[in-house]
Chain A
């Protein structure tokens, strides 16, 4: 039995998405910029895909720009807003400590260019509040960028309220909705969102394609110079097959969003309940304001990479925020941001489910995790010290 529980990393493509792509590889392979029929057919498809994606987000067609994925969309949105702000003498940006690196590293670069960055602290439950944003806004603030839902611990931020604060104060608001799109309702107008990033492979679409929504009137800075594609805002021949796959996948996800959320969150809660029975473990992130498919635990006395390798042997594909899996010396910045000590953060496990996950699989995962945690604790000197009382447990 193999169980794919790493859907926050990427998803399996849906049949609908694959079928939507194939004609644009085999028959309608023209360049949308070409004047001949096969080019123009591709161009029509492109316009249609843009319209359908805009409909899913509640925006206008021309407000959608296709990108190579979520990271590019984040880079594009943040860089553009920063340079717009700079022109008005506003060089302060607000974000949070647990954003994706596509956001954090872009902000790091802007900081080197002279921008001032405020990273809001995240509460232990993995949430920030609109009040925190409001309190941090200054006359020279040009952008607030807060993720819709966190990629590691799945917590859902009060986007609509944050958007309202930004709108009231006249500050641009961008949200990295890479984990949310296709899983949570998005209506950029109602939610006061000025810019939003999404990535197709997080909702059963293809990899290497994403979109940026930018409200009409926001002048974007080109990251890629070249031809006049995307209304001159993003050069390069459009990846039509991937765009068609993304449009189909997003439409399908949005059409079933409530039933999928109900089904997957029931499985999530079953998994959380099962893992909560393992002593000295703790759920990371709020249990309620949480993506339907996200489960993230820390287990004391063990290290995440060895946990993943042994789960892999049992056919369970998961991920972890331990330093060993990140390739750096520090464990996940998200777990540190919610106040988990290093020692505990190394023992993290993220399991992210999809509509295809079954209750039987969830039960198998619970048993597998239980066995592996117990086995690793059995050879851990840290666990020995905790169990003998030489060291204090952090969790219950």
Chain B
């Protein structure tokens, strides 16, 4: 289908890092089933580095591809670098998303950050609240 780039279709058909980490150091879930997409990210963090990451997604093709790409972009990276991940970087790495699907990349960024926030909370690490926008920032859930 010409709806999506080859990269999106590749990550949709062969998603990387699908699954669950039972003893995750950080778990983040964003989205709303009412809106049609939920992303859940599991992080394993050792020595301030993301040693493993898994995701589960309920959503459309671009939601699954965005989750897959986002996990690839942070795997093996220091936590500080993962915190820098933007939705734009996810969309660009997928060779672009249709305009009405950009919120999927926003959701992916937010899911990663929610998992990192959980990690900070669990470990008593101080952080700046403003680094974590509300899930509703994309406006997609305002129905």
- Chain A residues engaging chain B, CB cutoff 8 angstroms: 301-306, 309-310, 312-313, 322-325, 327, 329-331, 341-343, 346, 378-384
Contact A379-B60, Cβ < 8 Å, known A309-B1, A312-B1, A346-B36: no
- Residues facing A in B82-136 (CB within 8 A) are 100-101
Q: Given the complex of chains A and B, what is the CA–CA distance between A75 and B8 in angstroms?
A: 39
Please list 27 pairs of residues, one from A and one from B, whose beta carbons are closer than 8 Å in the complex, sorted by A's number.
Answer: A303-B37, A305-B61, A309-B1, A309-B12, A310-B13, A313-B13, A323-B35, A324-B101, A325-B60, A329-B35, A329-B142, A331-B36, A341-B34, A342-B34, A342-B35, A342-B36, A342-B143, A343-B33, A378-B18, A379-B19, A380-B38, A381-B38, A381-B56, A381-B57, A381-B58, A382-B33, A382-B58
Residues of B within 8 A of A346 (CB): 33, 36
Q: How far is the CB of A332 from chain B (nearest CB, A)?
A: 11
Query: Which residues of chain B have C-beta atoms less than 8 A from A331's C-beta?
Result: 36
Most buried by B among A304, A313, A324, A343: A324
Taken together as a complex, chains A and B put the C-alpha atoms of A189 and B142 apart, in Å, by: 48
B34 touching A380, Cβ below 8 Å: no
Instruction: Give the B interface residue count (CB, 8 A).
Output: 31
Query: Considering only CB atoms, which chain B residue lies closest to A383 in the complex?
Result: B58
Leading 7 A-B pairs by shortest Cβ distance: A305-B60, A324-B60, A346-B36, A381-B40, A343-B33, A381-B56, A382-B58
**A346 to B63 alpha-carbon distance, docked (Å):** 14
Q: Is the interface of B mostly helix, strand, loop or mixed?
A: mixed
Shortest CB distance A102–B (Å): 22
Bound Cα distance A148, B58 (Å) = 35
Q: How far, in angstroms, from A2 to B34 measured CA to CA in the complex?
A: 32
Complex: how many Å from CA A313 to CA B61? 12
**Contacting pair A303 B56 (CB below 8 A):** no
Is B29 part of the binding interface, using a Cβ–Cβ cutoff of 8 Å?
A: yes
Contacts of B43 in A (CB 8 A): none
Residues of chain B contacted by A341 (CB below 8 angstroms): 34
Docked complex Cα distance between A378 and B40 (Å): 13
Assuming the contacts A303-B36, A346-B36, asked whether A379 and B29 have C-beta atoms less than 8 A apart, the reply is no
Cβ of B29: which chain A residues have Cβ within 8 Å of it?
381
